[in-house]
């Protein structure tokens, strides 16, 4: 019997030879092996944005921190002051025998609260409403001689004799309003002069 020789093919790829690496195509510069776009390497570490400069809030003093701090409109401050003075006038007439001195002393803290609680846009109303409230609160305290004429005469007499308390309370309210107004203007100028960040 004849035996046929098995000869390995002379031509064709050989498995023992390594394939040359692929050269990048010039048109695909800047792309990865799979054709994806290659991003530029970022510097190590997370990006940090500059934090805005924050001014610390003013810390209220312990004596004022516990007090209420409402903001009343011009009409609201007038109604508040008038209602409180009428109530105080009635209390003075019932407890102190219509003492005008006690009424004048109680008028001062009401003027202070009215000037402190009125909002910034209605600051100038405080010195106007406190004299009106003082006169309204005098009606229960003033001597009533009977009739409308007697009531008016008693009111005029009480205003003339207690003019010191009236002027003092109005002056206190005016000073507080002026101080608040100066501080408000100073804050606006400081905020306008500060360079933007």
Is the per-residue pLDDT at 179 higher than 50? yes
Is the per-residue pLDDT at 19 higher than 80? no
* pLDDT at position 149: 76
Q: Quick check: 85 and 136 in contact, CB under 8 A?
A: yes
* pLDDT at position 5: 53
- Classify residue 132: in a domain, yes or no: yes
pLDDT tens profile 91-103: 988 887 778 888 9
- Classify residue 52: in a domain, yes or no: no
Is the per-residue pLDDT at 195 higher than 50? yes
Please compute the mean of the pLDDT values over residues 69-87 and round it to a whole number: 88
Please compute the mean of the pLDDT values over residues 79-107 and round it to a whole number: 89
- Classify residue 177: in a domain, yes or no: yes
Please compute the mean of the pLDDT values over residues 73-102 and round it to a whole number: 88
- Classify residue 9: in a domain, yes or no: no
pLDDT tens profile 47-56: 666 565 565 5
Q: Quick check: 159 and 138 in contact, CB under 8 A?
A: yes
Please compute the mean of the pLDDT values over residues 5-29 and round it to a whole number: 55
Is the per-residue pLDDT at 64 higher than 50? no
First to last CA, the chain: 102
Give the span between the Cα atoms of 37 and 126, in whole angstroms: 71
**Number of compact structural domains in the chain:** 1
* pLDDT at position 50: 59
Residue ranges making up the domain that contains 159: 71-192
Please compute the mean of the pLDDT values over residues 38-53 and round it to a whole number: 58
pLDDT tens profile 130-176: 999 999 998 888 766 666 777 788 788 888 888 899 999 999 999 99
Per-position b or e across 88-103, b if 16+ CB within 10 A of its CB: bbeebbeeeebebebb
Rg (CA), the chain: 44
- Classify residue 156: in a domain, yes or no: yes
Of the candidate ranges 53-67, 70-84, 126-140, the one whose mean pLDDT is the lowest: 53-67
Give the span between the Cα atoms of 47 and 51, in whole angstroms: 12
- Classify residue 66: in a domain, yes or no: no
Beta-bridged to residue 37, according to DSSP, are 31
* pLDDT at position 58: 52
- Classify residue 147: in a domain, yes or no: yes
- Classify residue 104: in a domain, yes or no: yes
Query: Phi/psi of residue 64, each to 5°?
Result: -95, -15
């Amino acid at each position: 019997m004849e035996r046929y020789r098995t000869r390995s093919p002379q031509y064709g790829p050989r498995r023992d030879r390594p394939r040359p690496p692929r050269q990048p195509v010039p048109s695909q510069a800047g792309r990865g092996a799979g054709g994806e776009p290659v991003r530029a390497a970022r510097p190590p570490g997370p990006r940090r944005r500059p934090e805005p400069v924050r001014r610390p809030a003013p810390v209220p003093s312990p004596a004022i921190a516990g007090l209420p701090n409402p903001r009343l409109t011009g009409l609201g401050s007038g109604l508040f002051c008038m209602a409180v003075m009428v109530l105080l006038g009635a209390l003075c007439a019932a407890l102190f025998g219509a003492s005008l001195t006690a009424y004048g002393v109680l008028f001062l803290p009401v003027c202070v609260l009215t000037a402190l609680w009125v909002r910034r846009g209605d600051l100038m109303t405080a010195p106007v409403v406190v004299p009106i409230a003082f006169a309204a609160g005098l009606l229960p305290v003033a001597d009533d001689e009977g009739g409308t004429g007697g009531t008016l005469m008693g009111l005029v007499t009480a205003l003339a004799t207690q003019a010191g308390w009236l002027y003092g309370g109005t002056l206190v309210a005016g000073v507080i309003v002026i101080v608040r107004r100066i501080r408000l203007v100073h804050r606006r100028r400081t905020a306008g002069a500060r360079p933007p960040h």
